[in-house]
Amino acid sequence: MEEVATADTEPSPMRIALRISYLGRRFSGSQQQPDTRTVEGVLIETCLRLGLFEDFRSAGFVSAGRTDAGVSARKQMVAFTTPYPERAVSSLNRMLPYDCQATGWAEVPESFNPRYQAKSRTYRYLFPEEGLDLQLMEEAASRFVGLHDFRRIARVEEGRDPMRRILSAGIFRDEDLIVFEVSGKSFLWNMVRGMATLLCAAGAGVIPPERISTLLTEEGDRIPAAPPDPLVLWDVDCGLTFNPLMRSEKADQLLRNEADRLRIGEKMVGWLGGDRRDLFWNEEIHDELGHLL
């Protein structure tokens, strides 16, 4: 047990930023909510147990952004102020669950807020490759780049600006999956998942890639969001240099167990018939989006 500093040697508080990685599947989103397991909830509870702060509000605990239930993060960012930064660095990962671990830390100015200081955010979205044409998807993705009104593929809260600038949007293959990678200064709620729906429609030949540009500017119903599980907040760039933090040994082991379970489940499903593949995404998209597109 670490010794807690006594009042007369109370250290001066330091604000730190943490790079956080989590598996979205077991969380009801990132944002704190009562009576449900959220990323912020788990982080704040662990900080409280470690005595890093007594109240998340006075510690100025903030995240770079909200992710929905099911959405994972490779490099989410949080920041808070604590008199015990060494304790945070040395003990957080041992106390955090395996599906939410810190992978880096940095000292930041007292005014630092990752939500407002992020220069860019990058997301990745995964598609199964079957039935999807990589080149059509590339052409479709390129249509998102630049400044556009994204209200038709996002949930826009009352009074928010629906214009967003996309810095880059690309498609590449990774083994038997297709990866969409998109960067922008900020994103609207559900916006990347709306992009994923359109990319899937273009890749399956349901809409021509150039249709995306006109779609964004047309009046009409909102395009539904693609499922959350294939989405990961890949990076948040605040111009910081992070000191790496190791995942705890136990967390590493449990994450590998999870990977094994998934590989075994995949083989099992394949054995029971799930490896006969065809253009099913195509059909689904026709059914669900036909009337919208």
Residues forming the site for its own copies (CB under 8 A): 21-25, 72, 74, 101, 103, 126, 128, 174-177, 229-230, 232, 247, 252-253, 255-277, 280, 283-284
Query: Phi/psi of residue 46, each to 5°?
Result: -70, -40
- Measured from the CB atom, the residue of 149 and 258 that comes closer to its own copies is 258
- Measured from the CB atom, the residue of 4 and 177 that comes closer to its own copies is 177
Q: Supply the minimum distance, in Å, between the C-beta of residue 105 and its own copies.
A: 16
Q: Supply the minimum distance, in Å, between the C-beta of residue 167 and its own copies.
A: 21
Residue pair 144/182 in contact (Cβ under 8 Å)? The answer is: yes
- Measured from the CB atom, the residue of 212 and 231 that comes closer to its own copies is 231
Report d(CA 20, CA 33) in Å as an integer: 19
Report d(CA 201, CA 138) in Å as an integer: 12
The DSSP symbol for 149 reads: E
Q: Supply the minimum distance, in Å, between the C-beta of residue 161 and its own copies.
A: 31
- Measured from the CB atom, the residue of 173 and 185 that comes closer to its own copies is 173
Report d(CA 200, CA 184) in Å as an integer: 20
Residue pair 154/100 in contact (Cβ under 8 Å)? The answer is: no
Q: Supply the minimum distance, in Å, between the C-beta of residue 152 and its own copies.
A: 26
Amino acid (1-letter code) at residue 138:
E
Q: Supply the minimum distance, in Å, between the C-beta of residue 234 and its own copies.
A: 8
Residue pair 210/202 in contact (Cβ under 8 Å)? The answer is: no
Residue pair 209/171 in contact (Cβ under 8 Å)? The answer is: no
The set of residues, in sequence order, having a beta carbon less than 8 Å from that of 149 and lying 6+ positions away, is: 162, 163, 216, 217
> What is the DSSP track for 32-57?
--TTS--HHHHHHHHHHHTTS-S-TT
- Measured from the CB atom, the residue of 1 and 272 that comes closer to its own copies is 272
Q: Supply the minimum distance, in Å, between the C-beta of residue 220 and its own copies.
A: 27
- Measured from the CB atom, the residue of 138 and 235 that comes closer to its own copies is 235
Catalytic status, residue 68: yes
Query: Phi/psi of residue 27, each to 5°?
Result: -120, 145
Of 68, 133, 149, 252, which one is the catalytic site residue?
A: 68
Question: In b/e form, how buried is each residue of 38-72, taking b as 16+ CB within 10 angstroms?
Answer: bbbbbbbebbeebebbeebeebbbbbbbbbbbbbb
**Catalytic residue IDs:** 68
